Chain A
Amino acid sequence: MPAPAVNIQKVSHHYGSHQALRDVTFQVTPGTLYGLLGPNGSGKTTLFRILSTLMPPSEGHAQVFGLDTAREPSAVRRRIGTVFQEEALDEALTVRQNLRVQGALYGLHGAERRERAKDLLRRLDVADRATDPVADLSGGLRRRVDLARGLLHRPDLLLLDEPTSGLDPAARRTFWSAVHQLRAEEGTTLLLATHLMDEAERCDRVGILSDGALVANGAPDTLKANLGDETIWLKTDAPISLRDRIEAQFGVSTRIVGATVQVAPAAPPTFLSSLYDALSDHIRSATIRTPTLEDVFMVHAGVSPTDSREHVLAHRDTSDE
């Protein structure tokens, strides 16, 4: 069996006293698209820094195709490409000049580099802007140029850290169709960090990071199916008292997720009408639906994926320095 594209074993990391990752373990099969889902400050970027060899983990091991990121960084660097939240492009240089510098970093030169750059720009639909300075390009175009930069040396593993942040929906769609096309043609393994549900839905497997811990890991459909088929979601001002009442009066199991109470009875529609007759004063709204990935996230992480903990992190970062 070939080595996994990514093998994270019991990785913990702390910045000073702040624990950014807690005992994270997971693997990514070569050729798949793995999504790390988590709000800002959940540890995604820390994990990416470790995988891209920018820093060793405090504890545990991270391997890329069997190569240890801390002990064999240059071998790892040859196998990976990166697209970070901000484009790694020099704005003063043209698209082509940027790709030339990138090629030099990987020892690519001459006709080989030119052909590869031309081919990527054509497939990413930015060939007509090759001689324009990057500063003149729109956000969506820059991202595609940055993707070309990350793929120039044909990496086996591409790390995408929130690659569509700040893009409008149309640019986001274009970016993803380009990624999927390239993936089909080159078989690149993709590790994506995101806080967007629709991006996570596209992944073969999803890992949910919450507060530095991996709280769920599996195919999106499996994770959703684990929550049951149709369930009732009740919004309320007092989730604890509502839960107690439901459990006392109906004897079904419930779960509190934020300001929502989830109930999974045998026949949701009939259950809901009797529930509403008995407790309508305590319920603000009720929904019956099959679980979404957002529900999966809420159940496992206890918070909504759009909740940001960035301010807490930023505060801790400054106090550490």
Chain B
Amino acid sequence: MSALRTIGALTAREMLKFVGDRSRVLGALAQPLALWGLLGLGFQNTFRPPQGTAEASYVAFLFPGILALVLLFTAIFSTISIVEERTSGFLQAVLVAPTPRTALVFGTTLGGTLLATAQALLFLGALPLIDHAPGVAGVGMIVAVCLLTGLAFTALGFAIAWRMETTRGFHAIMNLFLLPLWFLSGALFPVEGAAPVLQVLMWGNPVSYAVSGLRHGFHGFADAPTALAGPGVCLAVTGAFAVLMTGLAVWQVRRPFFQT
């Protein structure tokens, strides 16, 4: 019971923190919007969609990829405060309280997940700009992928932040992980047209399945998008990745806190 209260309180804390920080809300939206506009319009006439797929334009092709970028960044960076709060400050109080540490993981990651999903759904507000409507089932699929991907990356961020001494180190590690994962997810270019070595990496990248899942949702299951796998497989892989990352975070938080 006390664990559930802790989870609830920590989830609410993440929300309150985010809403209180307007620049964070805006920054998390403005950057991807700009990237979408610049890349989308820049490659407008040179991009050739793979044959037999439903991709109309590069702007439309890019949209699910940018959505994934919003998710990844919001999810991961919602955990950055853990680096500092762990050794001094707020999290010390959590660690000496009689609440299970697992509750700390679930509360924090749930908060970050909901934030990332809300942020991604806000970004869907840009859909009318390209005159596109995914339909109710499509939005449902997008929400499901967002929740699972958000959970996976908040948990990953948590696990890394728990071991980091400085926020600078956290930034460095994150950039090492995040951008390659995103580049190789089929967000920028379809897997069919890539060099064979990249194709292998893309097949092995869990984010590829999230992006493919978003593409299925984006097209409302109606047309055949450039996806790695069917919607079911995409959800299953993304879900399994989320479970794995949550496990990693729980394992980290249960390890002894100070070196002995």
Contacts and interface: CB of A to CB of B under 8 A. Distances in A.
Contact of B13 (A52, A75, A82, A97): A97
Interface string B220-260: 00000000000000000000000000000000000011111
B10 A101 contact: yes
A54 B16 CA distance: 28
Interface string B87-130: 01111111111110000000000000000000000000000000
Interface in A54-105: 54-56, 58, 74-75, 77-78, 80, 82, 84-90, 92-93, 97, 100-105
B101 to A, nearest CB: 11
A221 B143 CA distance: 69
Select the residue from A15, A75, A106 with max chain B CB neighbours within 10 A: A106
Nearest to A49: B258
B20 interface: yes
Given A84-B88, A93-B13, A100-B9, A55 B97 contact: no
A117 to B, nearest CB: 13
B93 A133 contact: no
A101 B13 contact: yes
B168 interface: no
Given A88-B90, A101-B13, A106 B260 contact: no
Nearest to A77: B98
B258 A55 contact: yes
Given A93-B16, A100-B9, 8 more contacts: A54-B95, A58-B260, A104-B6, A104-B99, A105-B93, A107-B5, A320-B259, A321-B259
B23 interface: no
Interface string A103-139: 1111101000000000000000000000001000000
B1 interface: yes
Given A49-B258, A86-B88, A90-B13, A102 B20 contact: no
A58 B259 CA distance: 11
A75 B13 CA distance: 26
A89 B81 CA distance: 13
A147 B103 CA distance: 24
Contact of B96 (A13, A52, A90, A109): A52
B213 to A, nearest CB: 33
28 contacts: A14-B260, A15-B260, A49-B258, A52-B96, A54-B95, A54-B96, A54-B258, A55-B257, A55-B258, A74-B98, A77-B98, A82-B92, A82-B93, A82-B96, A84-B92, A88-B90, A88-B92, A89-B89, A89-B90, A92-B17, A97-B13, A97-B16, A101-B10, A105-B6, A105-B98, A105-B99, A106-B97, A109-B5
B49 interface: no
Nearest to B18: A92
Interface of A: 13-16, 49, 52-56, 58, 74-75, 77-78, 80, 82, 84-90, 92-93, 97, 100-107, 109, 133, 149, 320-321
Task: Return the 7 tightest CB-CB contacts between A and B, nearest first.
Answer: A104-B9, A88-B93, A105-B97, A107-B2, A77-B98, A86-B88, A104-B5
Contacts of A85: 88
B16 A92 contact: yes
Contacts of B8: 104
Contacts of A52: 96
A106 B2 contact: yes
Given A88-B92, A320-B259, A105 B9 contact: yes
Contacts of B98: 74-75, 77-78, 105-106
Nearest to A16: B259
A80 B9 CA distance: 21
Nearest to A108: B5
Nearest to B90: A90
B9 A92 contact: no
B131 interface: no
Given A88-B93, A102-B93, A55 B260 contact: yes
A13 B256 CA distance: 15
Contacts of B90: 88-90
B132 to A, nearest CB: 36
A102 B94 CA distance: 8
Nearest to B97: A105
B168 to A, nearest CB: 16
A16 B259 CA distance: 8
A87 B89 contact: yes
A62 to B, nearest CB: 14
B93 A92 contact: no
A93 B12 CA distance: 11
Contact of B93 (A97, A109, A149): A149
A58 B89 CA distance: 25
Contacts of A56: 260
B255 to A, nearest CB: 11
A82 to B, nearest CB: 5
A149 B8 CA distance: 18
A101 B9 contact: yes
A104 B98 CA distance: 10
Contacts of A77: 96-98
A55 B13 CA distance: 27
A80 B96 contact: yes
B256 to A, nearest CB: 6
